[in-house]
Amino acid sequence: MKFKFFVPALIFIFIMACPSFGADILLKDGTKINGTILESPEGKIKIEKNGEILIFDLSKVKQVIMSKDENIKKKSNQNIDPSIKKILDLVPDTKNYPNAGAIILEDEDKYTLNNDGSYKIYSHMIVKLLEDRALYYSKYDTYYDTERENFNIILARTILPNGEVFNVEPSMITEGDPYEGMQFYIANQKQISFSFPNAVKGAILEYITEHTVHKAVLNDYFAPSIYFIADEPKLHTKTTVTFPKNKKIQYIAKNFDKFYDPAFESLKPLEKPQIINDKDTTSYVWEAENIPEIITETMMPYYKNIVPRIQLSSYQSWDKIFDWYNEKFNAYINDIDDDIKNKVTELTENLSTLDEKVAVLYHYVQQNNRYISIKGDIVSSLAGHSATRTFHNKYGDCVDKAILLSAMLKLINVPAYPVLLMAGGGDWDIEIPNFYMNHSITYAIVNGNEVWLDSTSSSHRYPDFRADDQDRWVMVPGLRKFIKTSLPDNAGSIQKLDMNVDEKGNVKVSGYKLYSGFIEANTRNRYKNMKQQEVIDSYKARLNKIFNIAILKYLKFSDLMDLNTQVKEEFEYIIPDYSLKAGNLIFLTLPGYDYRFSEIDLKNRMYPLDYENLDFIQREIIITIPVGFTISYIPKGLNIETAYMLFNTDFIQTGEREIKFTENFRTLTRYIPPQEYQNYKNDLQKIMTFCEEKMVIKRQ
């Protein structure tokens, strides 16, 4: 592969960043020089050709064609350091990896737990880059807590196929504070980052790091997670966990009971570690070779929920974690000043029902406290701040807002608790104590019913909550237990439309859509911060994408800033020459009635389909044909009822010039197992075919 640069300034920047590369240099006088570009002084280009050093002003250079991979001159084997040659020799025949962007030659982690509860993580990674799409490996970025941890980069380097080595020098490593204006900010956190020099297709990247945790968030907390499978194939992986004999470490093996991809069945022995007992320590070792990459599928479950993996913990029960959170949450919830009490009274005193009171407090915290995370340390990032502090600051992160809402709800005698969960991604492993969660919401009991309230969103109307919070395990420290959030079936739209057809085949569509659940929140969020003209322009663009040409005549949304009001969209638009005409016949399709199911593009599937949430569409369309026409044909409805979905439709002639179409389409389950994929695919294909059905009207 060759890269061309024409601007002298760009040539200089590239030369300074990438020394010792073969290149063709074309001077403005027509001279062409083939040689190796060396590190060059400012304003110059320095070239080695057959042992001779040539230096030219950049102003005389017309073009540089630099070879970055296959044209690199090979070194003789005797000139390559034996340790480098050993790494080069690890590279297998890449023809055996047709799908890979890279090959992970070595992936080794060593966890060493000490008697005092501190621990060290030694990591060694070697990656061979096969394709440009794998260049993301060339950027290294991590964070650590300066009060509790140390992080050292022992080695980082790029090894080219000819044996040349480019080390990441200390001056190339950036270590500093995160940007204080960022949405997530922890004062004691440091960021370390660097880029591997000359990381090009064909190169090998290697790094060794050592991460020392002097003081865990909780006393003696230690909970490594081990993943064996990656997006790229691994030649060798090994994880060793060493701990003193006087400490107990438990582990769970996840997802070894079902290998959706038979290629991973060879990992079955890793369900249990090799155990090595020394005089004072015990080591658990998991080691494997030649692990293929995971082949992703559309809408497959999150990796954490399907790949074989190991979770360890130094805690034998959740009690210490429950106690830690309860100590902090109880103090923060009870830290309520008169301003909070007065605000709760002001908001609720004229409301009659408990649901109304809970709703107004939920909406208040959503809309009056901005979502910003500014933390003094990792402890406050996990446990938050007091209700009074968050109330007066007018901002907070998820746990701050969950605490404030819980405190306000308790003032109206509603049992409420800040709770923890893993929002989005794989679910929390509740079988073994660990801190691997990322979000906090509020759990309340309202009129005897469980209610989940996520006040980080400013678009969800009570009692709705974010889609990525649904159907997930939640830790409720105040009740010392885990509860699974609900999977609501109320997210969707109710649509009532009038479709008026004229004798030329033009169609006028008018009506409304009434949204609910997370679909309502998404609609509100899409438009609420737009100016009126921006809303109109956006809506027009969507119409024209569907119909090519559509004329918007009227558009109105309910007050999108009012969370007490359900989002309603009213509209009227004209689709010129929409209908197909043939002689005295006009063929009509329902406007915008089209389903495309990308999840069934594959011929077969290994993994389940994961919709994550449930939704519905309920539709009624009244079609009125022009005077002087009769209804010649209406399609039959399609009805599909399975354990996974409900699809009921009907066309009924309700008058001489009127047809009513009705539809009720609901997803009933989150997961579609792979063994049901073909039947499910057939049903969705029937729906797509049904969308093409046409009504026929005839001129009298």
pLDDT, tens digit, 9 for 90 and up, residues 367-417: 999 988 754 444 556 778 999 999 999 999 999 999 999 999 999 999 999
Which value, in Å, is the radius of gyration of the alpha carbons in the chain? Answer: 32
Running DSSP on this structure, what letter comes out for residue 651? E
Torsion, Cα 496 500 506 508, to 10 degrees, reads -40
Residue 167 sits in the same domain as residue 281: yes
Residue where one domain finishes, among candidates 484, 517, 538: 484
For residue 80, being part of any structural domain is answered with no
* pLDDT value at 657 more than 60: yes
**Strands 102-113 and 234-244, sheet pairing:** parallel
522 phi/psi in degrees, rounded to 5: -65, -40
CA dist 659 and 260 (Å) reads 47
Long-range contacts of 650-657 (CB under 8 A, 24+ apart): 651/695, 654/622, 656/630, 656/631, 657/624, 657/625, 657/626, 657/627, 657/629, 657/631
In the structure, what pLDDT confidence band is assigned to residue 62 with cuts at 50, 70 and 90?
Answer: low
Residue 149 sits in the same domain as residue 272: yes
More confident residue, 178 or 674: 674
For residue 89, being part of any structural domain is answered with no
The per-residue pLDDT for range 554-601, each reduced to its tens digit, is 999 999 999 999 999 999 999 999 999 999 999 999 999 999 999 999
CA dist 640 and 43 (Å) reads 73
CA dist 488 and 519 (Å) reads 12
**Across 344-348, average pLDDT:** 98
Question: Percent of the chain, pLDDT > 90?
Answer: 82
pTM to 2 decimals?
0.85
In the structure, what pLDDT confidence band is assigned to residue 180 with cuts at 50, 70 and 90?
Answer: very low
CA dist 505 and 584 (Å) reads 11
**Across 234-251, average pLDDT:** 97
In the structure, what pLDDT confidence band is assigned to residue 80 with cuts at 50, 70 and 90?
Answer: confident
CA dist 641 and 643 (Å) reads 7
The per-residue pLDDT for range 604-615, each reduced to its tens digit, is 999 999 999 999
Q: Is the dihedral of CA 532, 535, 539, 541 positive or negative?
A: positive
Domain span holding position 540? 492-699
Residue where one domain finishes, among candidates 452, 484, 516: 484
In the structure, what pLDDT confidence band is assigned to residue 42 with cuts at 50, 70 and 90?
Answer: low
Residue type, 41: P
CA dist 139 and 504 (Å) reads 61
| CATH number of 404's domain | 3.10.620.30
Residue type, 478: G
| CATH number of 653's domain | 2.60.120.1130
Cβ proximity of 55 and 46 under 8 Å? yes
Burial annotation 620-659 (CB, 10 A radius, 16+ → b, else e): ebbbebbeebebeebbebbebeeebbebebebeeeeebeb
**Which three-class secondary structure state does DSSP give residue 247?**
coil
Cβ proximity of 358 and 409 under 8 Å? yes
- The closest of 38, 204, 16, 245 to 106, measured between CA atoms, is 204
* pLDDT value at 61 more than 90: no
For residue 260, being part of any structural domain is answered with yes
Cβ proximity of 487 and 613 under 8 Å? yes
Beta-carbon contacts of 164 under 8 Å, excluding residues fewer than 6 positions away, are 20, 72, 75
Residue 473 sits in the same domain as residue 499: no
More confident residue, 10 or 698: 698
CA dist 40 and 55 (Å) reads 8
Residue 192 sits in the same domain as residue 249: yes
Residue 404 sits in the same domain as residue 268: no
Residue 392 sits in the same domain as residue 373: yes
Residue 289 sits in the same domain as residue 306: yes
- The closest of 576, 596, 620 to 692, measured between CA atoms, is 596
Strand ranges inside 83-148, DSSP E? 102-113, 119-129, 139-145
In the structure, what pLDDT confidence band is assigned to residue 532 with cuts at 50, 70 and 90?
Answer: very high
Mean pLDDT value across the chain = 91
Q: What is the pLDDT of residue 188?
A: 74
Residue 471 sits in the same domain as residue 502: no
More confident residue, 10 or 422: 422
Residue 582 sits in the same domain as residue 477: no
Residue 565 sits in the same domain as residue 624: yes
* pLDDT value at 700 more than 60: yes
- The closest of 667, 674, 627 to 645, measured between CA atoms, is 667
CB count within 10 Å of CB 450 equals 12
**Across 8-24, average pLDDT:** 45
